[in-house]
C-alpha cells in the first residue's frame, strides 16, 4: 500500500464533494479524464476502491468514507500551513466562498465584502446566491449565512444581526387599487411572494403568517419579487434593507405588519482554529451590522 500525498487527497475530496469527475475537474481546473486517472492511481496505491461508479455519479465506498475525515484533516493542516507562512501582518488573503440566501447576497454582501476586500487586496470573495440551505460538509461554501440557527452538525454558529421586513407596494399600484386599512383588505389585492412548495425555511413563510391567502405572483427569488413590486404588480413582503433601491415602494399596514428575522453565520467547527477565517468572520459580522443599520435608516426616511 502506498500512502497518499496531499495532491492525491485534494483530488479525492473534490470527487467526493462533487459526486462526479466533471464537477471535480471544474473545481480543480483539471480535465475530467485526468481526475479519473488520478483517482484510479490512488485506489491502486491503496489497494481498494474508494468510489462506486454508476450513471448517477461517484459514491464513496466504505473505504472512501473511512478516508474522508483524514483527507479533511490534511486539508485543514495545509490551509493552516499557508496561513502561518503568510503572516497576520500581510492581511487576509486567498479565496473565501460565502453561501447566502439571495436577499442577503443581493442587497448586503456586495457592499460589505467590497469594503473588506479594499482593506485586504490579496483576498478573493465568491458569493453563491441561492435560495436554499448550503451543505458545508461538502464544501459548497466556506461560510454560510442562514435565516435559522442550525440544530445539528459540527458547526460553529454566531448571530450576525436582526433585520426587519415590511409589507409594501409601489405607490402607483396603491393609487390605482382600493385602500388597505386592515389585513382583511389584502384579499382584494394581488399578492407577491415565495412559491409555497419552494420555501426552504419556515422563517420565510411570511404571507402565511399574516393570513394573506393565495400568491398569484410567486418566485423563489427575493430579487424577482422585488422587481414585481417595483413594476406595480401587487403587494408583498420586502426586506427593509432592500427598500432604498426601490424608492417608489411604500409600506402597507406598518402598524399591523412588522416582521423581524435574524441572519446566522455558519462555518465548520474545525475552522474556529483558523485565524484567517476568524478575522474574516469578525469583519463580515461588523460590516453586516453596519450595513443593515444604514439601509434600514434610509428605508425609514422614505
Query: Which tens digit of pLDDT belongs to each residue from 202-211?
Result: 888 888 878 7
| pTM to 2 decimal places | 0.72
Average pLDDT over residues 57-65: 92
Is residue 96 domain-resident? yes
| Residue carrying C-alpha cell 390605482 | 176
Residue 51 has pLDDT above 50, yes or no: yes
Q: Answer yes or no: do 248 and 290 share one domain.
A: no
CATH number at residue 96: 3.40.190.10
Q: How far apart are CA 301 and CA 50, in angstroms?
A: 59
Is residue 99 domain-resident? yes
Q: Answer yes or no: do 252 and 192 share one domain.
A: yes
62 and 91 in contact (C-beta within 8 Å)? no
Is residue 1 domain-resident? no
Q: How far apart are CA 17 and CA 210, in angstroms?
A: 40
Question: Which domain range does residue 48 map to?
Answer: 6-86
On the 0-12 / 13-18 / 19+ scale of CB atoms within 10 A, 90 is: exposed
User: For 46-110, what is the HEC assignment?
Assistant: HCCCCEEEECCEEEECHHHHHHHHHHHHHHHHHHHHHHHHHCHHHCCCEEEEEEECHHHHHHCHH
In what helix (H) or strand (E) does residue 155 lie, and over which residues does it extend? Answer: strand 155-170
Name the domain boundary from 86, 119, 152.
86
Question: What pLDDT does residue 89 have?
Answer: 46
Q: Are strands 259-268 and 57-60 parallel, antiparallel or unpaired?
A: unpaired
**Which residue from 183, 169, 164, 191 is spatially nearest to 259, judged by alpha carbons?**
164
- Least confidently predicted of 8-12, 88-92, 127-131, 278-282: 88-92
Structural domain tally of the chain?
Answer: 3
Is residue 274 domain-resident? yes
Q: Answer yes or no: do 189 and 119 share one domain.
A: no
Distance of CA 44 to the CA centre of its chain: 38
- Residue 155 vs residue 231, higher pLDDT: 231
User: 84-107 pLDDT, tens per residue?
Assistant: 555 444 577 888 999 999 999 999
Q: How far apart are CA 35 and CA 18, in angstroms?
A: 12
CATH number at residue 73: 1.10.10.10
Amino acid at each position: 500500500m502506498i500512502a497518499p500525498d496531499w495532491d492525491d487527497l485534494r483530488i479525492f475530496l473534490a470527487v467526493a464533494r462533487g459526486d462526479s469527475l466533471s464537477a471535480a475537474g471544474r473545481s480543480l481546473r483539471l480535465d475530467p479524464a485526468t481526475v479519473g486517472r488520478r483517482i484510479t492511481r490512488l485506489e491502486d496505491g491503496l489497494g481498494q476502491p474508494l468510489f462506486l461508479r454508476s450513471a448517477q455519479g461517484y459514491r464513496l465506498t466504505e473505504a472512501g468514507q473511512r478516508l474522508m475525515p483524514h483527507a479533511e484533516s490534511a486539508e485543514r493542516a495545509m490551509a493552516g500551513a499557508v496561513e502561518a507562512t503568510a503572516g497576520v501582518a500581510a492581511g487576509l488573503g486567498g479565496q473565501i466562498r460565502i453561501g447566502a440566501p439571495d436577499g442577503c447576497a443581493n442587497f448586503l454582501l456586495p457592499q460589505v465584502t467590497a469594503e473588506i476586500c479594499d482593506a485586504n487586496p490579496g483576498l478573493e470573495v465568491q458569493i453563491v446566491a441561492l435560495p436554499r440551505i448550503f451543505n458545508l460538509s461538502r464544501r459548497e461554501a466556506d461560510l454560510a449565512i442562514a435565516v435559522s440557527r442550525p440544530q445539528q452538525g459540527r458547526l460553529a454558529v454566531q448571530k450576525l444581526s436582526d433585520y426587519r421586513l415590511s409589507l409594501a407596494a409601489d405607490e402607483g399600484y396603491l393609487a390605482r387599487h382600493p385602500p388597505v386599512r386592515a389585513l382583511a383588505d389584502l384579499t382584494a389585492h394581488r399578492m407577491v411572494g415565495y412559491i409555497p412548495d419552494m420555501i426552504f425555511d419556515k422563517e420565510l413563510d411570511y404571507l402565511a403568517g399574516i393570513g394573506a391567502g393565495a400568491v398569484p405572483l410567486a418566485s423563489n427569488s427575493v430579487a424577482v419579487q422585488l422587481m414585481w413590486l417595483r413594476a406595480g404588480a401587487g403587494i408583498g413582503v420586502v426586506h427593509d434593507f432592500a427598500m432604498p433601491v426601490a424608492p417608489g415602494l411604500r409600506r402597507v399596514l406598518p402598524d399591523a405588519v412588522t416582521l423581524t428575522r435574524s441572519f446566522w453565520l455558519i462555518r465548520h467547527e474545525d475552522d474556529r482554529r483558523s485565524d484567517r477565517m476568524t478575522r474574516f468572520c469578525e469583519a463580515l459580522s461588523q460590516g453586516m451590522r453596519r450595513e443593515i443599520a444604514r439601509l434600514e435608516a434610509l428605508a425609514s426616511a422614505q
